[in-house]
């Protein structure tokens, strides 16, 4: 049984997608192996590249979005404030091949 989507359900789905992505970021251009990717590895890279102290407990989950050494890494943070601080420090990456973006839904 398939129900038609109403404008109300589309709005609810959009809000849920936005809420789900609220604390996520993507890291592009970080060369590493799939096996090396861990919360501790990302903490060290944030300290090295962004001069930012984060702890393993600031992460909900993280995983590469491909199999190559330069595949983007999706990082799910626990707090929106941590994401905001990371994005504020992104100009420090200007002279590198690494970039960080927020996770936006297709309509954003």
Q: How far apart are CA 78 and CA 102, in angstroms?
A: 14
**pTM for the structure as a whole:** 0.79
| Residue 1 falls inside a structural domain | no
| Residue 45 falls inside a structural domain | yes
| Residue 62 falls inside a structural domain | yes
Q: Is the pLDDT of residue 48 over 80?
A: yes
| 72 vs 14, more confident | 72
| Residue 12 falls inside a structural domain | no
Number of domains the chain is built from: 1
| Residue 2 falls inside a structural domain | no
Closest by alpha carbon to 34, among 7, 4, 74?
Answer: 74
DSSP-based three-state secondary structure for 65: coil
pLDDT of residue 106: 63
- For residue 76, give the H/E element and its range: strand 73-77
CATH number for the domain spanning 66: value is 3.30.70
Enclosing domain of residue 35: 24-102
Q: How far apart are CA 98 and CA 83, in angstroms?
A: 16
């Amino acid at each position: 049984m398939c129900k038609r989507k109403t404008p109300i359900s589309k709005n609810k789905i959009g809000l849920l997608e936005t809420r789900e992505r609220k604390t996520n970021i993507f890291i592009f251009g970080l060369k590493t192996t799939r096996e090396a990717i861990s919360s501790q590895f990302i903490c060290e890279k944030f300290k090295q590249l962004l001069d930012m102290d984060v702890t393993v407990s600031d992460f909900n989950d993280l995983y590469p979005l491909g199999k190559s050494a330069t595949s983007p890494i999706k990082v799910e943070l626990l707090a929106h404030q941590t994401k905001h601080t990371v994005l504020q420090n992104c100009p420090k990456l200007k002279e590198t091949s690494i970039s960080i973006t927020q996770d936006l839904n297709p309509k954003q």
